[in-house]
Amino acid sequence: MAVGEGKFVLYSRISPPLHAGDYQLTARQDLGASTSTGALGPDELPVQQLETHFRVRSPRFALPPDQALSTFPPANAEGSFGSRLPQIVIKRRTLPWERDVGPGGVETTPWLALVVIAEGEAELKLNQPIAQCATPGVHFDGVAEAELGSYLQVRKSIVDKVFPTRLDVPLLAHAREVDIHDTELMMGDDDGFLAVVIANRLPLPGRDADGNEVPVKYLACLINLEQQFQVLRERAPDPSPFTVHPQVVLNSNLFTLPDWDRISMGMPAFPGMDLVAGGAGLGVHAAAARPAAARPAASVTAAAPGPTAMASAPAAASRTAAAAPYEAGGAWASKAAAGRSTGDVYADMARPFERAYAGILGGGDPTYRFPVLLHWSFTSAGQTTFRNLMEGADLGLLGTTSTEPPPAGRPAPEVVETGHVGLGHKTRRGDDVRIWYRGPFVPHPTVDPPGGRLPLAHASDQLRIVVPDGREDLSLAAAFEVGRLLALSRPSLIASLLRWRQLHYQAARREAIWRLQADFLEAMAIDLERIGRDVGGLLGRGLAKVIAAQPMDFLGNPRPLATPGRALAISGDPLRALTTGLGIAASALVGQPGEVLSRLASTAVPKAPAPNVTALGGMSSATGVLATSRAVLKGMQDLQINRLALDAIPGLGTVAVGAVGSARKPAARKPDALDKLIDSLGKQEEQE
């Protein structure tokens, strides 16, 4: 069932499937099978019986530290807990029901109880052998999970007075399911199920002889009731409508609450003053400070102060949760209680409870020992409640100074309305001056300077300000320097900053350089965002792409696929040119087609004289190949010339004989290479 946020569900009991102890597990298996001859029974298919031993473990003499989720009142706390029942929250939901409490109890009876002991009522012994941790004669079955344990040694009279009765014990343990998201209740638990053990006693603050409230130190012990359940009272005596505060013999007029505060911070309340002043036996730290008369040893039963002595619990507070800043000086104190182990704290808490006062009339008052799984102590003081503290707190904006006069030897701080504090400062040259300083916490909302926030400074000296009164304001410079030193104090941060510089500064610089060439890159169709190591390849490909798209700009016009032929320049009447070309009379082509045809049929075809090849071949070869080729060319030229001579027959008109169907008009043409060759040959001819 899901529990809503901020809600919780209470269970009377969550029983474990098995109590702690040693168990024997016997596993039997019966096999059956059917064959062609019939079924086989279990006897014919025997399986060996498996016998296993296992142990269900549960804390017995010590509660593992991670199992105690929280305690109330907090360990070592001082406050007005007089109307609240102490309690402990345990992570394992089944823990109070994991063991059998023994004779007198039923299966549902928890084996744990939380008892609250005032100073002097019982003795708490730490780190004793397990065998001594229970009343002599009481034997625990099973194994002990630890070598050493703690026990509470208490007289029967005290058991009758302050321990819960047998009927009370089941009512004092319950299980609780909390919302797993409510982190304040969670504190690291995994499933939200918790077990809670409540005490049956209100830790009342004491009263001195004058009826004033004085703090009383209490010890809360989570005890193991196994095998000793019947030591508890069966039922309570007749109830009383009221209870009395413990009477404290200490004359506490010497100490006011603030003094208690200082004492409990582990510092002397008054310089030079012995904390046992007044001889009242206020043992703050060590047992050595206890006058023997006021504190009879536990074994001295005859010297008991009397029947009322059990309520005489001189208050002591050796709280270790030191609030370090509680100090009269102006500077903040450094942590005083550093380097203490958990064991030290437990020992400290147990120290005031090492001795017990004698019980009533000694004699027939037997002593019992109960194993203690966890103990913590706290001080129940007068009016100090959370409510009182919060309602009485001095409220103001930071910059408000205390209404109390400053401690002797120290001038009142110089605080200006703006929140600046005047502080002594030694300049780099060694001058002692006063400066203004204001931390990050200011009494007025700050206004950003015009143009936005603080511009970037690269050195703290850039942030030093001289204010009109002549002093320097070092607030921001100090902040810069604190930040710089904090960064320098962490090598990982330095490495990270330098890596950032390497990877990001330089990458950004490279990008900016490319961005300057944005136009070119755009022309090359390169995405500016995608510039990387392959930019060279991209540039090459881009160039090829651009050249392919606009070859005119890069390579010039391409050659046409077909080259047009040269136009022949023919002048004169085409008919005459034709007849001249065919070497026939012009009149042969004139007249009716039939006549022309018959006339042509009877006309002899004129033949050009063949060149004299033998004459060419018989030429002297003294001039070599060149001469030969020239002679060939010359022969061809003669033919040409003959032809030209024919062309030049007077009376023949010029006829344009271009390629049929060509749209090209004969145009004035520049002389080309062939023309030049012909010209040069012509000139050569003339020279020869």
Contacts of residue 235, defined as CB under 8 A and 6 or more positions apart, other chains included, come to 165, 166, 167
CB hemisphere CA count around 212 (13 angstroms): 11
Would you state the structure tokens that stand for residue 248, as one six-digit string?
């404290």
Cβ proximity of 218 and 116 under 8 Å:
yes
- Binding-site string for other proteins from residue 308 to residue 337, where x marks contact by CB under 8 A and - marks none: ---x---------xxxxxxx-xxxx--x--
CB of 55 vs other proteins, minimal distance in Å? 28
Output 354 or 511, the one with its CB closest to other proteins: 511
CB of 150 vs other proteins, minimal distance in Å? 23
Output 184 or 672, the one with its CB closest to other proteins: 184
Output 127 or 402, the one with its CB closest to other proteins: 402
**Site size with other proteins, rule: CB under 8 A:** 167
Strand, helix or coil for residue 242: coil
Q: Which stretch binds other proteins (CB under 8 A): 126-134, 201-209, 344-352, 619-627?
A: 201-209
CB hemisphere CA count around 64 (13 angstroms): 9
Contacts of residue 20, defined as CB under 8 A and 6 or more positions apart, other chains included, come to 56, 57, 58, 60, 98, 99, 142
Question: What is the C-alpha to C-alpha distance for residues 353 and 216, in angstroms, rounded to an integer?
Answer: 12
Question: What is the C-alpha to C-alpha distance for residues 277 and 564, in angstroms, rounded to an integer?
Answer: 132
Neighbour count for residue 263 (Cβ, 10 Å):
22
CB of 381 vs other proteins, minimal distance in Å? 9
Strand, helix or coil for residue 512: helix
Q: Which listed residue (509, 533, 559, 607) binds other proteins by CB under 8 A?
A: 509
CB hemisphere CA count around 589 (13 angstroms): 13
CB of 491 vs other proteins, minimal distance in Å? 11
Q: Which listed residue (74, 306, 565, 591) binds other proteins by CB under 8 A?
A: 74
256 lines the binding site for other proteins (CB under 8 A): no
Going from the C-alpha of 205 to that of each of 86, 212, 216, 244, 671, the distances in angstroms are: 14, 10, 5, 10, 131
CB of 453 vs other proteins, minimal distance in Å? 6
513 lines the binding site for other proteins (CB under 8 A): yes
Among positions 337-366, residues that touch other proteins (CB under 8 A) are none
676 lines the binding site for other proteins (CB under 8 A): no
Q: Which stretch binds other proteins (CB under 8 A): 74-82, 125-133, 546-554, 555-563?
A: 74-82
Q: Which listed residue (139, 428, 429, 453) binds other proteins by CB under 8 A?
A: 453
241 lines the binding site for other proteins (CB under 8 A): yes
Burial degree of 447 (CB within 10 A; 0-12, 13-18, 19+) = exposed
CB of 42 vs other proteins, minimal distance in Å? 47
Would you state the structure tokens that stand for residue 476, as one six-digit string?
């921001």
107 lines the binding site for other proteins (CB under 8 A): no
Neighbour count for residue 67 (Cβ, 10 Å):
17
Residue listed under structure tokens 């319950």: 174
Q: Which listed residue (231, 317, 350, 463) binds other proteins by CB under 8 A?
A: 463
CB of 561 vs other proteins, minimal distance in Å? 36
First to last CA, the chain: 127
Output 276 or 323, the one with its CB closest to other proteins: 323
434 lines the binding site for other proteins (CB under 8 A): no
448 lines the binding site for other proteins (CB under 8 A): yes
468 lines the binding site for other proteins (CB under 8 A): yes
CB of 283 vs other proteins, minimal distance in Å? 21
CB of 195 vs other proteins, minimal distance in Å? 10
Output 87 or 637, the one with its CB closest to other proteins: 87
CB of 540 vs other proteins, minimal distance in Å? 13
- Helix 491-500, helix 475-488: angle, nearest 10: 100
Burial degree of 19 (CB within 10 A; 0-12, 13-18, 19+) = middle
Output 237 or 537, the one with its CB closest to other proteins: 237
Among positions 551-610, residues that touch other proteins (CB under 8 A) are none
CA-based torsion, 154, 158, 162, 165: positive or negative: positive
Output 495 or 608, the one with its CB closest to other proteins: 495
Q: Which listed residue (391, 431, 527, 553) binds other proteins by CB under 8 A?
A: 391
CA-based torsion, 37, 38, 41, 46: positive or negative: positive
Cβ proximity of 50 and 26 under 8 Å:
yes
- Binding-site string for other proteins from residue 154 to residue 193, where x marks contact by CB under 8 A and - marks none: -------xx-xx-xx-xxxxxxx-------xx-x------
Question: What is the C-alpha to C-alpha distance for residues 643 and 205, in angstroms, rounded to an integer?
Answer: 148
CB of 288 vs other proteins, minimal distance in Å? 27
Among positions 124-143, residues that touch other proteins (CB under 8 A) are none
Question: What is the C-alpha to C-alpha distance for residues 271 and 254, in angstroms, rounded to an integer?
Answer: 15
443 lines the binding site for other proteins (CB under 8 A): yes
Among positions 471-500, residues that touch other proteins (CB under 8 A) are 475-488, 490, 492-494, 496-500
Contacts of residue 603, defined as CB under 8 A and 6 or more positions apart, other chains included, come to 584, 585, 588
Report CA dihedral (34, 40, 44, 50) to the nearest 10 degrees.
70
Question: What is the C-alpha to C-alpha distance for residues 325 and 332, in angstroms, rounded to an integer?
Answer: 6
Q: Which listed residue (153, 230, 301, 385) binds other proteins by CB under 8 A?
A: 385
- Binding-site string for other proteins from residue 1 to residue 40, where x marks contact by CB under 8 A and - marks none: ----xx-x-xxxx---------------------------
Output 135 or 165, the one with its CB closest to other proteins: 165
Q: Which stretch binds other proteins (CB under 8 A): 33-41, 224-232, 516-524, 615-623?
A: 516-524
398: left (phi over 0), alpha (psi -120 to 50) or beta: beta
Among positions 204-223, residues that touch other proteins (CB under 8 A) are 204, 207, 211
291 lines the binding site for other proteins (CB under 8 A): no
Among positions 392-431, residues that touch other proteins (CB under 8 A) are 392-404, 406, 412-419, 421-423
CB of 495 vs other proteins, minimal distance in Å? 10
Q: Which listed residue (21, 82, 362, 542) binds other proteins by CB under 8 A?
A: 82
Among positions 86-105, residues that touch other proteins (CB under 8 A) are 87, 89
Question: What is the C-alpha to C-alpha distance for residues 320 and 347, in angstroms, rounded to an integer?
Answer: 11
Q: Which of 171, 224, 182 is nearest to 8 (CA)?
A: 182
CB of 106 vs other proteins, minimal distance in Å? 14
- Binding-site string for other proteins from residue 624 to residue 653, where x marks contact by CB under 8 A and - marks none: ------------------------------
Would you state the structure tokens that stand for residue 170, as one six-digit string?
């089941």
Among positions 44-73, residues that touch other proteins (CB under 8 A) are 69-72
CB of 11 vs other proteins, minimal distance in Å? 6
Work out the widest C-alpha separation in the chain, in whole angstroms: 181
CA 554, chain centre distance (Å): 57
Question: What is the C-alpha to C-alpha distance for residues 380 and 86, in angstroms, rounded to an integer?
Answer: 11
